[in-house]
Structure 1
Amino acid sequence: MAARKKNSSAFTEEEMPQVSVSDDGVSRYLHLGTPWVQGSMKLKAPFEIDLEYVQRMMAWLLFVEPESVAERHAVQLGLGAAALTKFHYKKLKMHTTAIEINPLVVNICRNWFKLPPDNDMLEVVLGDASMEILKSRWQGVVDALQVDLYDHNAAAPVLDSVEFYNDCRNMLTPEGAMTVNLFGRASSYQRSLEKIMQAFGEGHVWAFKPTREGNTIVLAQRVSTPLTRDELVVRAEAVQARWDLPASKWLKVFKQVEVTPST
């Protein structure tokens, strides 16, 4: 095994949280040893995205031509209940990769959340994201990178350093974007936002207002895409029509971070 970086998320086998599943008759939920919901699936629509904050992680679609989506590559750091992985693969028809450290999560997703087996267009990599993303195969080839790396207590991101966000930036194509789920107190969010801004630069970062549950999605572009508000409205309408995501509503709570946060 390669030497761990200081921001490694690696666990020993004994430290891996237990994985459990619950149903309420409408949705199925993933838990990692606590009552916290780590992901969900609509029982009657298993390939749609159930949770609002997860839907918002698809905001990268606003910045690319809809006709080009199927030609792109999506990567998720953290599998969760496989909602993003399934949506990119099944709905968007994209080359899709998920990197997940816990083999129990992968097994649960295969057996309970309808995650398809690996094939030429879908791959689940079992490993520590902080080390896996340094490999040459990921450099400059990812168009949509989603980061949702919380421990079983959902207290703070497992990987949340300037170094890590720099590594994420290096994975992206020129048109690529990263979306990150930041959950927790305002002070925790501000610290994470500052690190993302340091890695990506002012003018490259957008943020949603938090959901009712406290999830704030931040989007960072490798190269800033100069779109007017009217152009974003047209893109949002196209995303909503093609993939049934509430993209038009996103624009009411989504804006560019214009001022570098104070340190």
Structure 2
Amino acid sequence: MARKKNPAAEPPEVNFSDDGEVRHLHLGTPWIQGSMRVDAPFDIELEYVQRMMAWLLFVEPASVAGRHAMQLGLGAGALTKFCHKKLRMRTTVVELHPQVLALCRGWFKLPPEDARLSVVLGDAAAEVRRPAWQGGIDALQVDLYDHEAAAPVLDDAGFYADCRALLTDEGCMTVNLFGRASSYARSVEKIAAAFGADALWAFKPTREGNTVVLAQRTPSAPKRTVLAARAEAIQARWGLPAAKWMRVFRPVAREPVSGLLGPPRGPGRVESPLP
């Protein structure tokens, strides 16, 4: 979570539900805010969250463990756990809501802090402006929604400019664009204003309507053969379905917005609401 648009509003209730072997995080509503397979707690269960790892396509696999990943919004901790446990990266997560952190530690297997894992309880909008982080983040993963999941809580050109300033020269930001009131085209315009249109890549939407956009600190244009080889290496090394990403992942500048949006989507967060 990030700062609420109505600061006076009470924070939502944080709870979870189990659906067979999968545990879901909720913020006071049936909408799923994150998921974990109970018998594989350090894998990434949801498709759009897997796609948030697409920055791996732009770095050498052997270099990953020496890099620094930051998540804005903890959710069910999937990205944080994967970066820390599977990729062995230095990992920092920023989360506004202490109850989300407590639930992740108690029910979603979030490891305790150590030399490589740091948890910052605070406002993501303020945290990204801290001088200590500037130019030091290799992978910035942004998934900031309130309990209503209507639109990204932070979605303006100034925020994305602050995000760009965090990144190393080879760094990438991945962001989940989703919601009843959100506009993919407007969000992409704001990201392009901060990063440049030639720095942006995007997936086609998932079945649930989550569209993951990637922005590079330094734009590059690797050949598809290079990306395909990297995807095969990612899949073999870490078990992410990266090979099939190549069918639905394109530079934004080369793909019409309508082609990335697909058919109109109904309301929701990820997955369908629980019965």
TM-score range, shorter chain: over 0.9
Structure 1 residues 185 and 102, CA gap change in structure 2 (3 angstroms): closer
Q: Which moved more, 1:196-205 or 1:71-80?
A: 196-205
Q: Specify the alignment match of 1:79 in structure 2.
A: 74
1:187 is displaced (CA, Å) by: 6.5
**TM-score normalized by structure 1?**
0.93
Q: 1:260 to 1:161 in 2, by over 3 A?
A: farther
Shift of 1:250: 0.3
1:226 Cα offset (Å): 2.8
Secondary structure of the residue that 2:147 maps to in structure 1?
coil
CA distance in 2, matches of 1:243, 1:154: 30
Separation in structure 2 between the aligned mates of residue 49 and residue 112 of structure 1, nearest angstrom: 16
Give the SS at the match of 1:258: helix
Q: Which amino acid aligns with 1:209?
A: K
**C-alpha RMSD of matched pairs (Å):** 1.9
User: 2: distance between equivalents of 1:30 and 1:215?
Assistant: 17
- Return the offset for 1:186: 9.3
How much has 1:202 moved relative to structure 2?
Answer: 1.8
In structure 1, give the amino acid aligned to 2:245.
W
The answer to whether the Cα contact below 8 Å between 1:9 and 1:128 also exists between their aligned partners in 2 is no
Residue 8 of structure 1 deviates from its aligned partner by 5.3
Aligned letter for 1:135? R
How do residues 103-182 of structure 1 correspond to structure 2 at under 5 angstroms? 103-182=98-177
Aligned to 1:195: 190
**How far off is 1:204 after superposition?**
0.3
Identity between Structure 1 and Structure 2 (%): 64
Shift of 1:224: 1.2
Contact 2:4–2:146 (8 Å) recurs in 1: no
Show the counterpart of 1:45. 40
State the number of aligned residues. Answer: 256
Other structure's SS at 1:125 match? strand
> Equivalent residue of 1:203, what SS?
helix
Contact 2:151/2:182 (8 A) holds in 1: no
Q: What is the match of residue 237 of structure 2?
A: 242
Contact 2:74/2:100 (CA < 8 Å) preserved in 1?
Answer: yes
Distance, in Å, in 2 between the alignment partners of 1:46 and 1:11 is: 34
Task: Flag the 1:11–1:126 CA change in 2: closer, same or farther, 3 A.
Answer: farther
Separation in 1, partners of 2:4, 2:94: 12
Corresponding letter in the other structure for 2:37? K
Query: Aligned in 2, Cα 1:187/1:126: closer, same or farther, shift over 3 Å?
Result: closer
SS in structure 2 at match of 1:119? coil
SS in 2 for 1:30: strand
Displacement of 1:203 after TM fit?
Answer: 1.1
Q: Does 1:217 align with 2:212?
A: yes
Partner of 2:271: none
Distance change in 2, residues 1:105/1:241 (3 Å): same
TM-score by length of 2: 0.89
Question: Are residue 208 (structure 1) and residue 208 (structure 2) matched?
Answer: no
**Deviation, structure 1 residue 56:** 0.2
Structure 2 Cα separation of the partners of residues 211 and 21 of structure 1: 23
**Is 1:258–2:253 an aligned residue pair?**
yes
Q: Distance in 2 between matches of 1:90 and 1:119?
A: 12
* Letter in structure 1 aligned against 2:111: P
- Aligned partners of 1:210 and 1:217 also within 8 Å: yes
Q: For residues 209 and 60 of structure 1, what CA distance do their matches in structure 2 show?
A: 16
The residue identity in structure 2 corresponding to 1:31 is H
Q: What CA distance in whole angstroms lies between the structure 1 residues aligned with 2:81 and 2:139?
A: 14
Q: Which runs of 5+ in 1 are unaligned?
A: 1-6
